[in-house]
Amino acid sequence: MLLGAAAGLVYLFVAGDLRFHFVQSPHPHLLLLADAFLHGQSHVRPQQLAAVQQRDEAAADQALAALAQRRNIAISELQRRQFLEQWHRGRSLLDWSVVDGKYYGYWGPLAPALLTPVVALFGPGVSDRLIDALFGALNVALFYVLLRRADRAGWCATTEPARIALTVLLAFGTVHFYSSCIGSVWFSVQIITLTALLVACILSCAPQLTWRAALLSGAAFGAAVLGRNIVVLITPYFLTLFWFQTSGPRRARLAEWLRNCASFALPCIVAILVQGAYNQARFGSPFDSGQKALMQTAGAAELVPDYYRYGQFHPHFLATNAKFYFWNCELTRDGHGRLSFDGRGNSMFIVTPPLLYLFLAWRRRNRFALALAAGVLPFTAGLLLFRTTGAYQFGNRYIIELLPLLLLLVAEGVRGRLTNISYLLIVLAIAVNLFGTNRFCQLSWPQTDGALAWSLGAFVALALLARAACAILKQLPRPARRAGPGYKSDHSAPKSL
């Protein structure tokens, strides 16, 4: 609870533009879909979409005035209308699947369904950044629970400092940090999906699984699939872990495994049927998620040619995606000439250096690491074959749902202990993500740019000094304890025994 509250306070501070002032993001699509659900339909109500466009016009006029002042030019009404059209196309109208003039979301129904009570209470104008930050804080707390449960169940032994450090790493040293503060539809969907996935992992992580726990875990995992369908590729993790949780003769183990798998699969099948019905209601086919309509109407123009030539998944994308996920270290310059990140994605090992311990996860040679790898590899393969890396972004936001499994493998790589090297890498990860979050949010808080360099340096220095101080304190001799009644100085047993 303390870890979640501390992370939530930081998330709220960042999401509130460093003054706890919460506004809507430029892409509050989930709130519009939640409002549609409340009115018994799956497409956005035109009046709500028009209200968002009207709100954005003020921001557009402000940006246009700043541009005119910077270039010392006059803007005609025709130029203003053209600018507004492009502005709406990149904000309120971006990434909708438009069918017969109706605007649908191609995302799963989980996130808008969870937001319907919020919209019912506070209206569709509520801040999605605020909601995003609260779900992010919940994820941090749930991840610590997962680490502790895995330790107590004997799957992944970790010390308390290691569990705290890994939780802090998730909170501030991964793409989960800035994604929990942005609020736009793509980030919100992933943060909410991660919540359901963490619950599924916690419920499944036991020394020996019961069919009831498998059923509940399957329900949470089914909800995660309804958040982002690609999460279904993590299924092998659960099936492999279920096998390791059985015991006894082989035939009895097989029967127990099949029972648990069936219990897990039942709610997942229900979730798939719900997704199919949702697709049918929107696009006329249970197998159509709206990607084709998206590409034909309001999708990003640069992705359209590759989609029509190669489809959603294709080996053609493998080399390019591998670069942006694994080894791209290129940095760019923003419009003001400042050093920034590559919006197509930088290597996950640069954005989160402790992920290098993935290559040492084999050292324990335990079954839990095999189960984790069984979930990580198919999901990673799916990402490498997908038609885009998720740009515009800092780091690789598509790995958010994979972070719990990746960080558990990191725990295996460090053998469950917080070492000096792992501590240093975590500090560097937090510094990198502070930099990336600042650059991603620089339009909201440009006043921080001057303080960024020295504050990052001060953070790293203080963190390393704190670690050195702890090491020195451990080496100091401890005061001798006062001997109690019947206690001998040679540490022999008390006389009363």
Tokens 């097989």 belong to which residue? 254
Q: Among 147-151, 238-242, 418-422, 470-474, whose mean pLDDT is lowest?
A: 470-474
Domain ranges for the chain: 2-44+96-467
pLDDT greater than 70 at residue 478: no
pTM above 0.85, yes or no: yes
Q: Which two tokens stand for residue 351?
A: 């954005």
Task: Please work out, in degrees rounded to the nearest 5, the angle formed at the alpha carbon of residue 401 by the alpha carbons of 400 and 403.
Answer: 65
Strands 97-99 and 102-104: antiparallel
DSSP secondary structure, 111-135, as one string: HHHHHHHHHHHH-TTS-HHHHHHHH
Tokens 């020394």 belong to which residue? 207
Q: Which two tokens stand for residue 87?
A: 């502005």
pLDDT score of 55 = 83
Residue 401 — very low, low, confident or very high, per pLDDT cuts 50/70/90?
Answer: very high
Contact 432, 355 (CB under 8 A): no
| Rounded Cα gap, residues 449 and 337, in angstroms | 12
Mean pLDDT of the chain: 87
| Rounded Cα gap, residues 316 and 329, in angstroms | 22
pLDDT greater than 90 at residue 293: no
Q: Which is more confident, 78 or 109?
A: 109
pLDDT greater than 70 at residue 443: no
**pLDDT tens for residues 380-393?**
999 999 988 887 88
pLDDT score of 452 = 65
Q: Amino acid identity, residue 97?
A: S
- The mean per-residue pLDDT over the stretch 389-410 comes to 92
| Rounded Cα gap, residues 493 and 497, in angstroms | 7
Residue 470 — very low, low, confident or very high, per pLDDT cuts 50/70/90?
Answer: confident
The distance between the two most distant Cα atoms of the chain, rounded to a whole number of Å, is 98
Residue 51 — very low, low, confident or very high, per pLDDT cuts 50/70/90?
Answer: confident
CA nearest to 275, candidates 238, 336, 226: 226
Question: Strand, coil or helix: what is 102?
Answer: strand
**pLDDT tens for residues 12-47?**
998 888 888 888 888 899 999 999 999 999 999 999
pLDDT greater than 90 at residue 490: no
pLDDT greater than 50 at residue 446: yes
User: Over the Cα atoms of the chain, what is R_g?
Assistant: 25
pLDDT greater than 70 at residue 485: no
Q: Which is more confident, 189 or 457?
A: 189
Residue 445 — very low, low, confident or very high, per pLDDT cuts 50/70/90?
Answer: low
Q: Which two tokens stand for residue 36?
A: 């549609």
- The mean per-residue pLDDT over the stretch 323-339 comes to 83
Bond preceding residue 392 cis, omega within 30 of 0? yes
pLDDT greater than 50 at residue 256: yes
